[in-house]
């Protein structure tokens, strides 16, 4: 049974990086807890599975379009430890939230809100991407970057 578990885990990892928690969830019905833990430990020790590599790959693919709070929330939902999340976000050397929010806003809207309804729509969009309210307010107050650009 553990060979079948191992093969299934390798098939999952061949599609994309998975955290240990994600793999355990996906393998849950295929073996006992001990068998699954043994397979996951073997994959981790042979460097076929790595939580930090998974976080790094996920950040590389998603950081440009999400705010820091969404990045943290998504990584946490994948079963990563808060310390690892902090470490990976720090290592990713991301532009600050204001810079990312401005880039996302300009691709999506490009023009300042003309009325309260537009302002609310643009603010909801940015907040849904995980940007803090103060970032959203500052950006929508001076979308072009104000005097610094």
CATH of the domain at 40: 1.10.10
Regarding whether 61 and 104 lie in a shared domain, the answer is no
Same domain assignment for residues 104 and 140: yes
List Cα–Cα distances, 109 to 7, 64, 76, 115, 125, in angstroms. 46, 16, 30, 14, 10
- Quickly tell me which residue has 């969009």 as its tokens: 125
Range of the domain at 105: 97-148
pLDDT at residue 95 in the model: 87
Query: Is the Cβ–Cβ distance between 114 and 120 less than 8 Å?
Result: no
- How do the pLDDT tens digits run along the chain, 149 residues long? 578 999 999 999 999 999 999 999 999 989 999 999 999 999 999 999 999 999 999 999 999 899 999 999 999 999 999 999 999 999 988 889 999 999 999 999 989 999 999 999 999 999 999 999 999 999 999 866 554 43
CA angle 86, 91, 92 (to 5 degrees): 100
- Domain total of the chain: 3
For residues 61 and 18, state if they share a domain: no
Structure tokens at 5: 């578990």
Is there a single domain that holds both residue 102 and residue 124?
yes
**Token pair belonging to 99:** 């810079």
Interatomic CA distance for residues 88 and 31, integer angstroms:
32
- Cβ pair 20, 80 in contact under 8 A: no
The token pair at 6 is 């191992």
Q: Do both 122 and 139 map to the same domain?
A: yes
Residues 104 and 76 in one domain: no
d(CA 65, CA 95): 11
pLDDT at 94: 87
Q: Please identify which residue in the block is written with the tokens 């807890």.
A: 33
Instruction: Say yes or no: 101 and 112 in one domain.
Output: yes
109, 122 Cβ separation under 8 angstroms: yes
**Domain co-membership, 79 together with 102:** no
Note whether 4 and 37 are same-domain residues. Answer: yes
Let me know whether 72 and 30 are in one domain: no
Tokens matching residue 62:
């998603």
Is residue 54 within 8 Å of residue 24, measured between CB atoms? no
Same domain assignment for residues 7 and 31: yes
Q: Are 86 and 126 part of one and the same domain?
A: no
């Amino acid at each position: 049974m553990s060979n079948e578990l191992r093969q299934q885990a390798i098939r999952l990892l061949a599609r994309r990086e998975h955290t240990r928690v994600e793999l355990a969830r996906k393998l849950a019905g295929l073996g006992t807890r001990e068998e699954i833990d043994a397979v996951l430990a073997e994959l981790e020790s042979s460097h076929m599975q790595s939580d930090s590599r998974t976080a790094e790959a996920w950040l590389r693919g998603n950081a440009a379009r999400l705010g820091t709070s969404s990045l943290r929330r998504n990584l946490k939902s994948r079963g990563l430890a808060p310390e690892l999340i902090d470490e990976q976000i720090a290592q990713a050397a991301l532009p600050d939230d204001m810079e990312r929010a401005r880039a996302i806003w300009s691709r999506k809207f490009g023009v300042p809100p003309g009325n309260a309804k537009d302002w609310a729509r643009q603010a909801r969009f940015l907040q849904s991407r995980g940007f803090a309210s103060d970032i959203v307010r500052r950006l929508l107050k001076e979308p072009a970057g104000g005097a610094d650009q």
